[in-house]
Amino acid sequence: MAKFRFLNTPFTIKNLALKNRLVMPPMCQYQATDGVPNDWHYVHYVSRAVGGAGLIIVEMTNVAPNGRISPRCLGLWNDEQRDGFKKIVDAVHAQGSKIAIQIAHAGRKALGTDDVVSASANGAYGGGVEADPRWGGYQEPRELSRAEIAQTVQAFQDAVRRAVEAGFDAIELHGAHGYLIHQFHAPKTNLRSDEYGENKFLFGEQVIAAARAVMPPEMPLLVRISAQEYGANGYDLAYGCEIAKHYAAAGADVIDVSGGGDDTPDAAHMPQIAAGYQVYLADAVKKATGLPVIAVGLLDDPAVADYVLGSGAADLVAVGRGLLRDPYWLLNAQYRQTAADAAPVQFVPDSYRRAFGV
């Protein structure tokens, strides 16, 4: 079994010192009441810290009630929610892991609200995924006024300030998967004729600036983007790199590189789903921005994840569903290596090579 050379190496960005390169990416749990974290979230996140993940990113946590993709999603629009996170943050720290939180607004993909908003009123989200029947279907959004855009930027800032107060080590802004920031920078969902339409990156840049203003300067800001849209008429990777460059200039320290979420996936506009299927996106964004990047997407084979790190395409690897299935993903990967080291002498690589003449 190939030695993992990179997964277990430390990585530092600003004052965030990670013990290894494994990231648990944000994954909605739909278990909150009134946006407040509870015992489920505590067990869920702390068990991944026990399993050794270097960085845990708490799921999409929303800046307003109408920014949730279900009424059971987490929020940070009040102090009770903030205080609920402190216990989780402290327990993750006690295990030697670092913890960030993904701050978001769903925009036109919100469910369970009668006030669905977006950059433009451009029809209900199609998506190809059935909305959960408990929370109603996707609705046509109404266009945010300029005053409401300013209020939304303020809501992002207030949520980030609360996350800092709760003790998080880093902030991630959700600019991916067809949610509000993505809706503003995507030409097919931003049909505005004001300054937010003329400069499609303006809203995201304002959110980044607002976040930075309430973060300690040495705390890293991560921004997750879809570097390529996967639906018909979606933007391409070159445009995704432009988004990343704008957000890097606005203050992002790390780009968390995902894809899609904009619409019903179209085979002609997306990669084939296989191991490491989005690594090429991370590689391109890293080259375009010069910033550290996180790669994600079917990296659950530790050897593949290690290879991606070694190739230089990404600085950190996120393992989502793999960590849902196995909180001890990294520990088990290490255990399998040790077990391989202890294999009978007949199986060691040298004997193998001789036996098969390679």
Catalytic residue among 125, 179, 230, 247: 179
Minimum Å distance from CB 7 to ligand FMN?
Answer: 14
196 is catalytic: no
Beta carbon nearer to ligand FMN, 109 or 224: 224
- Could you say which of 41, 44, 105, 174 is catalytic? 174
Q: Report in angstroms how near the CB of residue 259 gets to ligand FMN at its nearest.
A: 9
Pick 176 or 192: Cβ nearer ligand FMN: 176
Q: Please identify which of the residues 41, 177, 182, 269 carries the catalytic annotation.
A: 177
- Closer residue to ligand FMN (CB): 29 or 190: 29
- Minimum distance from residue 306 beta carbon to ligand FMN (Å): 15
Q: Determine the residue with CB nearest ligand FMN.
A: 320
**Among residues 210 and 319, whose Cβ is nearest to ligand FMN?**
319
154 contacts: CB under 8 Å, gap ≥ 6: 210
* 277: annotated active-site residue: no
For ligand FMN, give the closer residue by CB, 56 or 291: 56
Residues near ligand FMN (CB under 6 A) are 25-28, 59-60, 102, 174, 176-177, 224, 258, 296-300, 319-322
269 is catalytic: no
Q: Report in angstroms how near the CB of residue 29 gets to ligand FMN at its nearest.
A: 8
Q: State the minimum distance, in angstroms, from the CB of residue 323 to ligand FMN.
A: 8
Q: Kindly list the catalytic residues.
A: 174, 177, 179
